[in-house]
């Protein structure tokens, strides 16, 4: 108990102190855990890359060995000389009387893995090779022949396109194989990633220093931000508590940090959206309840007359109507509640696919690509545009889609060239199950929910859906979405 009390006494009592302490401990823990995971992943990736690169290198070396084995002995030196005059191939090639001794190379996991893999591949492809030696050497320690000649003793054009000697030397792999008794082929080359040994060290000094500096910077900045935003949180907490209890919302202060002001505005917008959502759902289900009364009453009156075929048919018709209305209500809720993360959407791709489908069905539609992107929920926005497009196709003989962008919003305009809508009916178009007379004739399967769903989706994006008769005839539906900037950590480009 005393130890526990002593530990608790060291915990700061203020919100600023506790948040700072928790943030420091959390950042350090995440930093260390992330570094450990990152280091393990880097080691796995480095081993995989080195194994794959060494395997390809082994196949290339085996091909070179087969080539020189197929040549007459007297021609081998001539071919090597031609290679050197042309600037070399992937390998620096030489013929020796025996294996050339190399300066021991400091063994590391990746270098050992590469040597073993190359040795294994060559042995598998050329089991007849009598002796095979594979090793690494630094450029200054490389010897090309038994007389001790190295890189500095041969013309630059022999090695400058094969081996890296400056400005930063890279380890060179040396492959020596006995072709016949007293005849050895010498191959020197680089790994595809010459500096693979450096890449395999996740805890190099510069990386550790960078992590420590990052930790310090994150902690200092977090401390400042926490101190900045904790002061006005009491008002926001009271407002959230009052809203949760259904009481009156106290006014939030209009001063404070930018983050607090954005949070306060977001809270106000959230409150409005929730309230509007509740009102829309109440209106929807009140309408459903009202419209279900008539068919239910008819079912009750005809339940006693089921022996009659005509009555039975009418009974089934009423059931079908009731089933359609219930399904429509459930579909409305389902289509309006699409849970997604906002992402960048290329409207040309999204709308272009819809346009192609419409053309395949035989309808006339026009669309000009604009190259405009918008930040939105992909499936939800597609549903809203699809609903408006389907309405336009049902009620108009020809449809055109255009996209424009201003400083404040991106507008998607869908126009049909049908009869339009009476001015007195425009205000009722968003009401559930409201369908105009010409709509009933051209679309018998509809339920009058598409426009309401589209409006809910657009409003959820803080946008606006405008319905109006188009100048010159027809009907125009405009989706206006605010111009936003996508955060760096959000997946970009939905196609």
Per-residue pLDDT of 207-258, as tens digits, reads: 778 777 877 887 787 777 777 767 677 777 777 766 754 556 667 777 776 7
Q: CA 158, CA 150: separation in Å to the nearest integer?
A: 12
- pLDDT above 90 (res 478): yes
Q: Which two tokens stand for residue 258?
A: 């930018």
| More confident of the two residues 191 and 107 | 191
- pLDDT above 70 (res 296): no
- pLDDT above 60 (res 140): yes
- pLDDT above 70 (res 325): no
User: Is the Cβ–Cβ distance between 482 and 408 less than 8 Å?
Assistant: yes
| More confident of the two residues 364 and 490 | 364
Most confident of 48-52, 87-91, 280-284: 48-52
- pLDDT above 80 (res 182): yes
Determine the length of the chain.
495
| More confident of the two residues 174 and 241 | 174
- pLDDT above 80 (res 411): yes
26-30, 182-186, 362-366, 367-371: lowest mean pLDDT where? 26-30
The Cα-based distances of 295 to 234, 305, 320, 449 in angstroms read 54, 16, 10, 19
237-246, 280-289, 484-493: lowest mean pLDDT where? 484-493
pLDDT score of 91 = 87
For the range 129-133, what are the long-range contacts, defined as Cβ-Cβ under 8 Å and sequence gap of 24 or more? 129/65, 129/177, 129/178, 129/179, 130/178, 130/181, 131/99, 131/177, 131/178, 132/175, 132/176, 132/177, 132/178, 133/99, 133/174, 133/175, 133/176, 133/177
222-231, 273-282, 294-303: lowest mean pLDDT where? 294-303
pLDDT score of 490 = 46
Q: Average pLDDT, whole number, for the chain? A: 78
pLDDT score of 402 = 92
Most confident of 160-164, 174-178, 260-264, 438-442: 174-178
Q: CA 457, CA 377: separation in Å to the nearest integer?
A: 9
Nearest alpha-carbon partner for 194 in 104, 94, 102, 90: 90
User: How many CA atoms lie less than 13 Å away from 216 in the CB half-sphere?
Assistant: 6
pLDDT score of 21 = 75
Averaged pLDDT, 348-352: 91
pLDDT score of 330 = 56
User: Is the Cβ–Cβ distance between 192 and 186 less than 8 Å?
Assistant: no
pLDDT score of 92 = 86
Nearest alpha-carbon partner for 164 in 180, 145, 142: 142
pLDDT score of 412 = 93
pLDDT score of 121 = 93
Q: Cis omega before residue 167 (within 30°)?
A: yes
Q: CA 362, CA 358: separation in Å to the nearest integer?
A: 7
87-96, 117-126, 164-173, 364-373: lowest mean pLDDT where? 164-173
- pLDDT above 70 (res 377): yes
pLDDT score of 244 = 58
Share of the chain above pLDDT 70, in %: 73
Residues 6+ apart with CB under 8 A from 296: 322
pLDDT band of residue 329 (cuts 50, 70, 90) is low
Share of the chain above pLDDT 90, in %: 11
pLDDT score of 495 = 46
Nearest alpha-carbon partner for 159 in 192, 190, 114: 190
Q: CA 295, CA 315: separation in Å to the nearest integer?
A: 9
Most confident of 26-40, 80-94, 117-131: 117-131
Tokens 């007849």, located at residue: 128
pLDDT band of residue 491 (cuts 50, 70, 90) is very low
* 3-state SS record for the chain: CHHHHHHHHCCCCCHHHHHHHHHHHHHHHHHHHHHHHHHHHHHHHHHHHHHHHHHHHHHHHHHHHHHHHHCCHHHHHHHHHHHHHCCCCCCEEEEECCCCCCCCCCCCHHHHHHHHHHHHHHHHHCCCCCCEEEEEECHHHCCCCCCCCCHHHCCHHHHCCCCCCCCCCCCEEEEEEEEECCEEEEEEECCCCCCHHHHCCCCCHHHHHHHHHHHHHHHHHHHHHHHHHCCCHHHHHHHHHHHHCCCCCCCCCCCCCHHHHHHHHHHHHHHHHHHHHHHHHHHHHHHHHHHHHHHHHHHHHHHHHCCCHHHHHHHHHHHHHHHHHHHHHHHHHHHHCCCCCCEEEEHHHHHHHHHHHHHHCCCCEEECCCCCEEEECHHHHHHHHHHHHHHHHHHCCCEEEEEEECCCEEEEEEEECCCCCCHHHHHHCCCCCCCCHHHHHHCCCCCCCHHHHHHHHHHHCCCEEEEEECCCCCEEEEEEEECCCCCCCCCCCEC
The packing angle between helices 15-70 and 109-125, to 10°, is 30
User: Is the Cβ–Cβ distance between 492 and 344 less than 8 Å?
Assistant: yes
């Amino acid at each position: 108990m005393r130890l526990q009390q002593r530990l608790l006494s060291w915990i700061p009592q203020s919100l600023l102190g506790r948040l700072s302490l928790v943030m420091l401990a959390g950042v350090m823990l995440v930093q260390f855990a992330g570094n450990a995971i990152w280091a393990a992943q880097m080691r796995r990736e480095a081993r995989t890359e080195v194994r794959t690169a060494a395997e390809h290198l082994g196949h290339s070396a085996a091909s070179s060995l087969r080539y020189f084995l197929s040549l007459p002995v007297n021609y081998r030196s001539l071919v090597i000389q031609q290679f050197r005059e042309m600037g070399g191939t992937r390998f620096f090639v030489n013929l020796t009387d025996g294996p050339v001794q190399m300066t021991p190379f400091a063994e590391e996991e990746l270098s050992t893995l590469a040597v073993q893999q190359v040795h294994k591949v060559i042995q598998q492809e050329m089991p007849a090779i009598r002796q095979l030696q594979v090793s690494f050497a630094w450029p200054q320690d490389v010897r090309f022949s038994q007389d001790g000649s190295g890189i500095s003793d041969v013309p630059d054009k022999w090695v400058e396109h094969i081996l890296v000697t400056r400005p930063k030397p890279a380890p060179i792999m040396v492959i020596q194989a006995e072709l016949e008794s007293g005849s050895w082929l010498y191959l020197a080359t680089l790994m595809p990633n010459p500096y693979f040994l450096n890449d395999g060290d996740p805890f190099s000094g510069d990386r550790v220093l960078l992590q420590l500096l990052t930790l310090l910077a994150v902690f200092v900045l977090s401390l400042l931000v926490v101190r900045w935003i904790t002061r006005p949180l009491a008002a926001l907490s009271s407002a959230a508590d009052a809203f949760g209890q259904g009481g009156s919302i106290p006014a939030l202060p209009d001063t404070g940090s930018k983050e607090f002001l954005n949070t306060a505005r977001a809270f106000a917008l959230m409150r409005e959206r929730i309230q509007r959502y509740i009102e829309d759902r109440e209106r929807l289900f009140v309408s459903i309840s009202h419209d279900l009364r008539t068919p239910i009453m008819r079912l009750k009156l005809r339940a006693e007359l089921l022996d009659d075929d005509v009555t039975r048919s009418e009974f089934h018709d009423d059931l079908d109507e009731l089933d359609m209305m219930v399904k429509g209500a459930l579909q409305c809720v389902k289509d309006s509640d699409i849970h997604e993360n906002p992402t960048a959407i290329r409207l040309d791709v999204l709308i272009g696919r819809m346009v192609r489908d419409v053309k395949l069905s035989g309808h006339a539609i026009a669309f000009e690509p604009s190259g405009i992107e918008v930040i939105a929920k992909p499936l939800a926005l597609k549903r809203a545009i699809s609903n408006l497009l389907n309405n336009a196709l049902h009620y108009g003989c020809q449809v055109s889609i255009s996209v424009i962008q201003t400083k404040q919003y991106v507008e998607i305009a869908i126009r049909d060239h049908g009869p339009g809508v009476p001015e007195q009916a425009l205000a009722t178009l968003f009401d559930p199950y409201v369908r105009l007379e010409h709509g009933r004739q051209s679309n018998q399967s509809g339920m009058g929910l598409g426009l309401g769903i589209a409006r809910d989706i657009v409003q959820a994006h803080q946008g606006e859906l405008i319905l109006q008769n188009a100048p010159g005839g027809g009907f125009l539906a405009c989706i206006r979405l605010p111009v936003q900037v996508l955060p760096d950590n959000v997946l970009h480009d939905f196609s």
